[in-house]
Amino acid sequence: MAYRDSTAEKTTVTRDLDVLSEQAEGNIYESIVVFSKRANQINTELKEELSSKLDEFASTTDNLEEIFENREQIEVSRFYERLPKPGAMAIQEFEEEKLSWKAKGE
């Protein structure tokens, strides 16, 4: 998924629990489990993507000047810091009914 294009909130937003629990047949706990697991998936994917991009900048020498002056690496890190949090992205996907799940025992 293109997380760069996410329109999720970048700040804390108050949510109506009744609206969040509607998709899970009124069970807010199931809703929370669903989007928390999705947030973990998003977080893992973002970490892997960021690590692969930062590996390009890995140097075999221990020159401190290169470490502090690598502007490209800093820009990549700042880009990922500015993205919405994985929890906000997961809740947005949940609210837009882009997530599907199967409860245990079904």
pLDDT tens sequence across 24-83? 888 899 999 999 999 999 999 999 998 888 888 776 666 655 555 677 888 888 888 889
* φ, ψ of residue 61 in degrees (nearest 5): -100, 160
Cβ atoms 89, 3 nearer than 8 A: yes
Q: Which residue would you say has higher pLDDT here, 42 or 8? A: 42
Q: Are 42 and 88 in contact (CB under 8 A)?
A: no
Token pair in block for residue 58: 């890995």
Instruction: Find how far residue 59's CA is from the centre of its chain.
Output: 28
The closest alpha carbon to 34, from 91, 106, 105, 96, belongs to 91
Q: Does the predicted TM-score (pTM) go above 0.85?
A: no
Q: Is 17 exposed, middle or buried (0-12, 13-18, 19+ CB in 10 A)?
A: exposed
Residue 26 Rama label (left phi>0; alpha psi -120 to 50; beta): left
Domain ranges of the chain: 24-95
